Structure 1
Amino acid sequence: MYAIVEIAGHQFKVEKDQRVFVNRLATEEGSTVDFDNVLLIGDGSNITVGAPAIDGAQVGAKVLRHLKGDKVIVFKKKRRKGYRVKNGHRQSLTEIVIEGITASGAKKATPKKEAKKVETKAKKAAPKKATGKADDLKKIEGAGPKAAEALVNAGLDTFAKVAEAKPEALSTILSEASSRLAHIVTDTWPKQAKLAAEGKWDELKELQDRLDGGIEK
């Protein structure tokens, strides 16, 4: 039996006992994780296709380790402008092993307690628009326009609110907003937000210069 499942914004064809490298997951090493966005399941000549996902299907996996991929060199040049920029990037990855594929009857994984607290607050705050001016959350390293929008929609519209949240809760908010945001590492976001809320921009810049793939060196 094999399945095509979406994990952290990418689709993978997986089988039992197969090892897969995916974008960094906000899960501790040694813990188990379930993925319910299963697009297709094949069992011999029987193939089940979702629309887009198969209801009740689930792929279970175990997190083996967190690591970084090979360095990729990004070189940009503009002709006759004297513009040359060379950067290196190492993608944050997680190695998982597929423990099983469930075709139907699986229950969706429930979020952690901390994530539930933030979600509850977000639901209460959602119908009302923020009365104060929202902060520019894009100043947090790794928080692009879509990620910042997801935080604001969840009620975290200021640096002070983000600073009080747990990284796990922030990752849950991003994952629920879009599977394309699930790979973003939020480990340092509360720390960055705290410096921004206190107006310590120089210290924030120094911290961001030390970051590699969202992780502090």
Structure 2
Amino acid sequence: MYAVIKTGGKQHRVSEGDLLTVEKLAGSKGDSVVFDDVLMVAKEGEIRVGKPVLEGAKVVGEIVAQVKGPKIYVFHMKKRKGFHKKTGHRQQLTRMRIKEISI
């Protein structure tokens, strides 16, 4: 059984027990998170697709850790002017384990 959920502006295909990394969600380690934006559920050959979401379907996950993504370097430069600037960014992420998929 698997489901397609929408979180953080992205769609993720998840199954029970999967470890998933998504955009930062509020909560701390051990907290439970419920995703109500379930776009599709497949169970034993039967596929149910929402328009756009399935009514009554939900996916429950548990937060494993709050982490940071890899460092992204941004470099700005203006030619012939002697101007350059280097900055960096690390995205805040939430790592979670999917506990339950219900229709």
- Is 1:70 matched up with 2:65? no
- Is 1:13 matched up with 2:13? yes
Residue 51 of structure 1 corresponds to: 51
Q: Report the count of equivalent residues.
A: 103
CA drift at 1:23: 1.1
CA drift at 1:56: 0.5
Residue 89 of structure 1 corresponds to: 89
Q: Which runs of 5+ in 2 are unaligned?
A: none
Q: What amino acid does structure 1 have at the position aligned with 2:4?
A: I
Identical pairs, percent: 39
For residues 44 and 85 of structure 1, do their structure 2 counterparts lie closer, same or farther at Cα, with a shift above 3 Å needed?
A: farther
* Bigger strand share: 2
Higher RCO, 1 vs 2 (CA within 8 Å, ≥6 residues apart):
2
Q: What amino acid does structure 1 have at the position aligned with 2:25?
A: L
- Mapped to 2, the partners of 1:74 and 1:29 lie a distance apart of 31
TM-score (norm 2): 0.90
- Mapped to 2, the partners of 1:20 and 1:85 lie a distance apart of 34
CA drift at 1:69: 1.1
Q: Secondary structure at the match of 1:73?
A: strand
Q: What amino acid does structure 1 have at the position aligned with 2:73?
A: I
* Deviation readout 1:72-102 (Å, 9 max, x if unpaired): 1112334445442211111111110000111
For residues 80 and 36 of structure 1, do their structure 2 counterparts lie closer, same or farther at Cα, with a shift above 3 Å needed?
A: same
- Mapped to 2, the partners of 1:48 and 1:79 lie a distance apart of 55
| Map 1:130-209 → 2, pairs under 5 A | none
TM-score (norm 1): 0.45
Q: Secondary structure at the match of 1:28?
A: coil
CA drift at 1:40: 1.0
CA drift at 1:10: 1.9
| Map 1:111-122 → 2, pairs under 5 A | none
- Mapped to 2, the partners of 1:78 and 1:2 lie a distance apart of 49
Q: Secondary structure at the match of 1:56?
A: coil
Q: CA RMSD in A?
A: 1.4
* Bigger helix share: 1
